[in-house]
Amino acid sequence: MELCGPRIRLRPPRPEDTLALFTLMSDPELAPFVYWEPHQDPHQTYQYLEHLQTKEGFFVIEAGEQPAGVIGLHLDWANKLGETETWLGQPYWGKGLNTEAKVVLFDYAFGPWDLRRIQAIAHVHNPRSQRALEKLGFQREGLLRRWRWIRGEPWDFYMYSLLPEEWLSSRPPIFY
């Protein structure tokens, strides 16, 4: 499946993405915000892509025909719930691509997929991620203390959620 916005395309990951995503995933500046260590070898990126291919609801974000990052929803169909996860390579931050990718994905998730809740967790020391969620209408529900053990440290996260009736008014005016 592919989903398109004015400047982005969400499409399934493929092995040919390896080198472009390796360049982005080897960036040490991304490390404080993501679960992985900077990739040292394209084979790590290849394995990451292989894993992504097994996950329904995950897409490569393509901008200008280049892979720019990854967005997805961990889907829990029984509860009509999706947990969103996004990363963009640093050169693509602050350009509106995250908003566009989320609009395209959430329109589909609240539309044909009929989800009743999209949730997201944001590290307490990641204000960019928190702001990016809040400006799309996500409500902060609470603090998840020591929610993830990452690189030998406990990480605290805020839990955010967005409901379809809120999306009707909070959705940015992006048309495609």
Ligand X SMILES: CC(C)(COP(=O)(O)OP(=O)(O)OC[C@H]1O[C@@H](n2cnc3c(N)ncnc32)[C@H](O)[C@@H]1OP(=O)(O)O)[C@@H](O)C(=O)NCCC(=O)NCCS
Applying CB under 6 A, which of residues 6, 94, 111, 154 lies at the interface with ligand X?
94
75 touches 56 (CB < 8 A): yes
Applying CB under 6 A, which of residues 43, 116, 125, 135 lies at the interface with ligand X?
135
| 18-25 helix and 42-53 helix, angle to the nearest 10 degrees | 110
Report if residue 18 touches ligand X, rule: CB under 6 A: no
Q: Which stretch binds ligand X (CB under 6 A): 73-81, 122-130, 140-148, 163-171?
A: 122-130
Q: What angle do CA 128, 113, 78 make, to 5 degrees?
A: 95
Report if residue 128 touches ligand X, rule: CB under 6 A: yes
- Name the H helices within the chain: 18-25, 42-53, 97-110, 127-134, 164-170
59 to 88, contacts with ligand X by CB under 6 A? 86-88
Report if residue 33 touches ligand X, rule: CB under 6 A: yes
Report if residue 127 touches ligand X, rule: CB under 6 A: yes
- Taking the complex as a whole, the smallest distance from the CB of residue 120 to ligand X amounts, in Å, to 7
Applying CB under 6 A, which of residues 18, 84, 119, 129 lies at the interface with ligand X?
129
48 touches 79 (CB < 8 A): no
Element housing 58 (H / E): strand 58-63
The single-letter DSSP state of residue 172 is -
Residues found near ligand X in the complex (CB under 6 A): 30, 33-34, 86-88, 93-94, 97-99, 122-123, 126-129, 131-132, 135
